[in-house]
Structure 1
């Protein structure tokens, strides 16, 4: 949470962005407890990821489908039996 305050310049600036008191931000920074209602606002205002702020609510994103797929022409495979969309009319 301290990194979020540093990203916007101060705890007071972060409090203004969140619409809360500087004391509330100071409490969040000292305890590390970020209320769920503030997480997305903090991420938007500071660039600090929601996962970093509340990993219990926002686990790290799993890899995308494309990251899990092998390249189309993997070693030992050919495209000779692939369907040609232009030939299926």
Structure 2
């Protein structure tokens, strides 16, 4: 029976071993073993991504949703955001004229 690799398993494979990943991110090998049960701690996600290339949204989709870049793009092109920027310019002009 073939089991799918978890993102943490992929990170361990990229590092070479659980002990190697632990050394790279500055924790004990036991900590990496705990992550298999409890999940990767939020404060370790970016260092694991940097060291292994496993994307942060794979490691912790609850705090790094994959659609983050789409959200930023839609906010930039949002009429409400454009209008707010225009209003800020008008307000600062009016404030300076007093």
TM over 0.5: yes
Which TM-score band applies after superposition, normalised by the shorter structure?
A: 0.5 to 0.7
CA deviations 1:15-68 (Å, max 9, x no partner) are 001100000001112x15110110000000000000000000000134374xxx
1:74-85 equivalences in 2 (<5 Å) = none
Could you tell me how far apart the structure 1 residues matched to 2:27 and 2:13 are? 17
Number of aligned residues: 66
Q: Which is greater in Rg?
A: 1
Distance in 1, matches of 2:38 and 2:60, equals 9
Give 5+ residue unaligned stretches, structure 1. 66-89
Verify: 1:21 aligned to 2:28, yes or no: yes
Runs of 4+ residues over 4 Å off in structure 1: none
What is the TM-score of this pair, normalised by structure 2?
A: 0.61
Matches of 1:10 and 1:48, distance apart in 2: 14
- The CA distance in 2 between the partners of 1:34 and 1:16, in whole Å, is 15
Q: Please report the RMSD computed on the Cα atoms of aligned residues, expressed in angstroms.
A: 1.9
Corresponding residue number in structure 2 for 1:40: 46
Question: Please, which runs of 5 or more residues in structure 2 have no aligned partner?
Answer: 1-7, 74-98
Report what 2:64 is aligned to: 58
* The structure with more helix, counted as a fraction of residues: 2
